[in-house]
Amino acid sequence: MATTDRAEDPEPCERVPAGPLLVPVRPGPAGCTARFFRTAPGERTAVGFTTAERLRATLGADQPWIRLSEPALRALARPLGIRLVTVDPQLCAPAAGPAPAGAAAPTVAAAPVTGPPAAVSRPHLLIG
């Protein structure tokens, strides 16, 4: 019976998250560029969605995306110093239009980011 080295296993037993991610991109003259966001505390994060419906609900129907695995997304973000990957975030941004005269400034509520810097988390996003 042959033994296998777990370090070389291309399909680890525990996948976090399971399956491919839909990663928002910006089209440009040289191709597509992944969009990176910030969590409520301001940490830069790579973002992926598990379904097209969740991506559209958060970023809009016209948001282009590419399919990447979580390790590929991490590898893409790592050279930029981004260690956090956020899966299925919810948009958390102030209203796009001007506030009526005398109205209080909009507040942005966000779930706290927990876990180690390389953890996969599901906090809210700030776009800006």
Instruction: Report if residue 100 sits inside a domain.
Output: no
Instruction: Report if residue 110 sits inside a domain.
Output: no
What pLDDT is stored for residue 94 in this prediction? 55
When divided into structural domains, the chain yields a total of 1
Q: In 3D, which of 9, 10, 11, 24 has the Cα closest to residue 85?
A: 24
Amino acid at 38: R
For the chain, the C-alpha Rg in angstroms (whole number) is: 17
Task: Find where tokens 């969605």 sit.
Answer: 49
Q: What is the CATH number of the domain that holds 62?
A: 3.40.1350
The residues, ordered by sequence, that sit 6+ positions from 90 with a Cβ below 8 Å of its Cβ are 58, 124, 125
Stated pTM of the model? 0.62
* Cα torsion 92, 58, 38, 18: sign: positive
Instruction: Report if residue 4 sits inside a domain.
Output: no
Mean pLDDT (the chain, rounded): 75
What pLDDT is stored for residue 11 in this prediction? 47
Q: Which pLDDT tens digit goes with each residue over 19-73?
A: 799 999 999 998 999 999 999 889 999 999 999 999 999 999 999 999 999 999 9
Domain that holds residue 80: 16-92+115-126
Residue 103 — pLDDT band, cuts 50, 70, 90? low
